[in-house]
Structure 1
Amino acid sequence: MTTSSTQAMTRMLQTHPHADRIGHQQALLECIDACFECAQVCTSCADACLAEPDLQMMVPCIRLNLDCADICMTTGRVVTRQTGPQADVLRAQLQACLAACRACGDECRKHAGHHQHCAVCAEACRRCEVACQALLAALAA
């Protein structure tokens, strides 16, 4: 998210009727930011992979990019909702996102030496993986 988006999300959480119950606000904000960024980067990486001359070799990467983008987008939306979250569902969604980011990042790293867009994607996936892990840890505390 851009700085203005992050500021808007911070204000939104602060003005939420359950603001007093929203714990771990920094971990939450970082996770939301990382999820939405990763979704956009993975979608763009899939598109860039489609333009590569060695398209057949890129099929697993494209698939993981698109799966990761969908999971990250959903995770960002789920963790944004603060009214009555189900802890088990929230943890499962964060774990799914973490796994998708790890798989996508690992695949993109394989291509990072030849395709700069894959290097950028691997970095975004790693950031999202770390943010999901941090929010999971904060929720467990």
Structure 2
Amino acid sequence: MLVAEMQEAHPRPLVGIDADALAECIEACLACAQACTSCADACLHEEMVVDLRRCIRLNQDCADLCDALARILTRGPDTAPGLLRAAVQACADACRMCGDECATHAEMHEHCRICAEACRRCEQACLALNLD
């Protein structure tokens, strides 16, 4: 895992955050951002694109939040604790909403099923960070 390797190579040790949970969350965020971006693009190419507008919008918003959180977490735990908790919670919420929406289309569209799974994994990784 490149994320864990980079964490270990960093001269400042992590304090107060489980390194494995942090690496897992970063990787889940990056995977979810990719899945959501791909799902939104796939939705745009479906015949019933009008019915997928909410899905597309949630995909885009979720991808942006996942990408932002991955960058924030990669910079390390020096981020203000309140801001870090808010960013993690916002990402978890976006993943839950996007995953729920994609799940409603999963029987019809394989890309939505895959995206819903990525969203669920990312939501769980965010919640597992335990930043209290």
**Alignment match, 2:124:** 130
**Number of residues of Structure 1 aligned to a counterpart in Structure 2:** 132
Q: Quick one: which of 84, 88, 102 aligns to 2:96?
A: 102
Query: Aligned partner of 2:82: which letter?
Result: D
Query: Is 1:62 aligned with 2:62?
Result: no
Q: Quick one: which of 52, 60, 72 aligns to 2:46?
A: 52
Distance 1:108 1:84, change over 3 A: same
Instruction: Report if the CA contact (8 A) 1:22-1:82 is conserved.
Output: no
**Alignment match, 1:14:** 8
Distance 1:107 1:83, change over 3 A: closer
Identity of aligned residues (%): 52
Distance 1:131 1:55, change over 3 A: same
SS class of match (1:43): helix
1:29-71 Cα offsets, whole Å, 9 max, x none, are: 0000000000000000000000100010000000000000000
Distance 1:77 1:126, change over 3 A: same
Query: Is 1:75 aligned with 2:45?
Result: no
Residues in 1 aligned to 2:97 and 2:15: alpha-carbon distance in whole angstroms:
33
1:61-117 Cα offsets, whole Å, 9 max, x none, are: 000000000000001010111162211111000000001000000000000010010
Once the 2 structures are TM-superposed, how far is the Cα of residue 20 of structure 1 from its aligned partner?
5.1
Once the 2 structures are TM-superposed, how far is the Cα of residue 11 of structure 1 from its aligned partner?
2.0
Query: Aligned partner of 2:48: which letter?
Result: D
Instruction: Report if the CA contact (8 A) 2:14-2:77 is conserved.
Output: no
Q: In angstroms, what is the RMSD of aligned CA positions?
A: 1.2
Distance 1:20 1:48, change over 3 A: closer
TM-score in terms of structure 2 length? 0.95
Which stretches of structure 1, 4 residues or more, deviate above 2 A after TM superposition? 20-23
**Alignment match, 1:119:** 113
